[in-house]
A and B are shown apart, each in its own frame.
Chain A
């Protein structure tokens, strides 16, 4: 790489987790840059949802409108996708969506850090969803939950094969669920970093990569929201398997 006139692009450097107090060792409780941005996300959520709604006015202010918009948006999603039985999971989905969308959007601030670009974070979120769906499914339906894998509408010969495929796809869910979110955010940030690397060495012509960064930034804003939406709605879809009538 070095022979191309100092073109050093290290798009992964931005995802480096470094302890804030200096040093190199990262223990369990070490406060890192990721911790900082998780904390900022908490602050923003608190500001948005607690301070904004503190007055509980019938005619909402701006912050309260955002909170209400979020509330009705997730509420309608849960009602529509999961059905009436899923209303119990509304707070859970609200927490998921609020947290993911906030960290995604905060990660787009230049120089910031996106916790959701880390597989560790998204894997925990997805594993929580997977565990919830599995436990709730067995709790609600008992062994009948396994009927989800036995596609009764298919010819009998095909059913074992389909069951195997369904089983695999069931266990792949948390993987795809987490990689989709983490991969999207990471890829978007990496692409911007790559273009930023181009801009550093192209002289006057660097207008082109800078314009590209601006365009991608807009796209990433969209992706940040859409991925949070997709993560939440997929959770709803998975939950429907567990609480609703099993159709695929």
Chain B
């Protein structure tokens, strides 16, 4: 049995198996079956699927790009808003600073004025007292001078005329 098989194989292998036309119908049949299955798998199922995925991806990428563009615009707007807010806050702060400064200056001025007025009043009072004292002193001096002058006149033996002495003392005091 083995020998017959070997012989049969040797007989076959002498030529090209490709040119053994006995096997052709079998090969062609199975090839056609295979091609039909492959066609079904590839063209009917796989290709629409892959094509769909590719188209979807293209769409998704386009959409994503659009979304990114939109987000970028939004970010820009947000940045603008932020900058504006910052600007206004800065202006507000400057305004507040200025107002505070003005307030402080006003308060200071008022306080200064009050203090000045107090000092003025005090010094006026002081001056008045000084003037009073001076006037008192002057009156005392005139009194003393009148008394002295009267005493001197009487001591020298004269008759002290009050009116004359008065005039003489006040003339002397003025001079």
Contact = CB atoms under 8 A, between A and B. Distances in A.
- Determine direct contact between A and B, CB below 8 Å: yes
B53 A53 contact: yes
A15 interface: yes
Interface stretch (A35-43, A140-148, A198-206): A35-43
Nearest to A102: B38
A28 B29 CA distance: 7
B17 A16 contact: yes
Contacts of A53: 46, 49-50, 53
Contacts of A125: 31
A237 interface: no
A94 B43 contact: yes
Contacts of A26: 22-23, 26
| Interface of chain B, main secondary structure | helix
A113 to B, nearest CB: 11
A17 B27 contact: yes
B51 to A, nearest CB: 7
Contacts of A64: 50, 53
Interface residues of B, number: 42
A60 interface: yes
Contacts of A230: none
Instruction: Select the residue from B9, B37, B51 with max chain A CB neighbours within 10 A.
Output: B37
Interface stretch (A114-122, A218-226, A240-248): A114-122
Interface string B42-80: 110111011111101100100000000000000000000
A12 B16 contact: yes
Nearest to A52: B46
A53 B57 CA distance: 14
Contact of A98 (B13, B33, B38, B57): B38
Contacts of A99: 34-35, 38
Interface string B97-118: 0000000000000000000000
B26 A32 contact: yes
Contacts of B17: 12, 15-17, 118
Contacts of B128: none
Nearest to A103: B34
A26 B29 CA distance: 12
B164 interface: no
18 contacts: A16-B9, A32-B26, A32-B30, A38-B31, A42-B38, A49-B46, A53-B49, A56-B52, A71-B54, A72-B54, A94-B42, A95-B38, A99-B34, A118-B18, A120-B28, A121-B28, A124-B28, A124-B31
Interface of A: 10, 12-13, 15-17, 24, 26-30, 32, 34-35, 38-39, 41-42, 45-46, 49-50, 53, 56-58, 60, 64, 67-68, 71-72, 90-92, 94-95, 98-99, 115, 117-121, 124-125, 182, 186
Given A17-B20, A68-B54, A120-B31, 7 more contacts: A30-B26, A32-B30, A38-B33, A50-B41, A53-B49, A99-B35, A99-B38
Shortest 3 CB-CB distances between A and B: which pairs?
A91-B43, A49-B46, A120-B27
